[in-house]
Structure 1
């Protein structure tokens, strides 16, 4: 990777990079086109003003926002945010993520998530990442299972989403559970 390379890491088909202001039009257009697929699970910013506020929040020290982009053409396939990052003895963060409709079902999020996990554990120095998923969100649960997360519990009325408090399953992965980058590459073939 050269200093002019925007990607923090690359896989066979995707790279991960930070959000920028220049991404607002593409990101918000993809969010609008994906609204039906995302409902009722998540609501990424679909308007320019909302994107700008989201981008400002991602600059906070307790957050890391990463876009998953197709290497062929650079199109944004999805995103992963690491929220509530705590260092010290805890070294933990909570993931949020979403694929866009044009990339869904192509394995791009799985490849990108593996890159994000390596980034979080190796570059950010985290030890544990958690994901909270609504039990009926089968695609999201399948994604974290494939990435090596383990189910750790159930949280009733955990997050206020789409007008109601929603139950969530708690999934987590630690740095010891993650296959090394070479093994992960072999698994993608």
Structure 2
């Protein structure tokens, strides 16, 4: 995990900022995850205790094929949600797969939309990625609306794509590419 004293955001917008995962965030994150169970189920299962958070955040921070961001509201500094870029493949692909979630207190306020915009700028800028994908269960209307607002396009349907909550789930594949004319800009 990175130095726990780092306080600089990775990016800032008018209403949100992106921070790296830190062990100090475990109590807040897990309390928000527990309070957001009804919002998240059956789509996602973020860690709900500090031990699970430490393992989860550690995997994101230590794995070079992952980048993780906590989306915080600038008005009060509370964690509004999280956005991770997983399975980053470099070389000629320069692609990653998004995973994300808003917490209940922030849902519907546009904070994750702004945070996703910050992540896209970071991914297509300093990270040098060309493409991001989001695989979403077809009935998850809020998630589809989020990526649609961000400019993602529907590219396909993948039956039995991910094993979630005890069953293989169908997913729609949404994607966005950098608007550049060559590798990394």
TM-score computed with the length of structure 2 as normaliser:
0.92
Of residues 141, 144, 151 in structure 2, which corresponds to 1:141?
144
Report the counterpart of residue 167 of structure 2 in structure 1.
164
Matches within 5 A, 1:15-30: 15-30=17-32
> How large is the Cα RMSD of the aligned pairs?
1.0
* Residue 97 (structure 1) aligned to one of 100, 107, 113: 100
Give a deviation string over 1:66-85, Cα, whole Å, max 9, x none: 00001112100000000001
Moved over 6 A (4+): none
Deviation at 1:176, TM superposition (A): 1.1
After superposition, the C-alpha distances for 1:47-104 in whole angstroms (9 at most, x for unaligned) are: 1111011011102010001000011121000000000011111000000000000000
Matches within 5 A, 1:25-104: 25-58=27-60, 59-104=62-107
Distance 2:34 2:127 in 1: 31
Provide the C-alpha distance between the structure 2 equivalents of 1:28 and 1:7, rounded to a whole number of angstroms: 21
Unmatched runs of 5 consecutive residues or more in structure 1: 178-189
More helix by share: 1
Any stretches of 5+ residues in structure 2 without a counterpart? 1-5, 181-185
Give the 3-state SS of the residue equivalent to 1:88 in structure 2: coil
TM-score, structure 1 as length reference = 0.90
Q: CA deviation at 1:5?
A: 5.1
Give me the whole-angstrom Cα distance separating, in 1, the residues matched to 2:17 and 2:51: 26
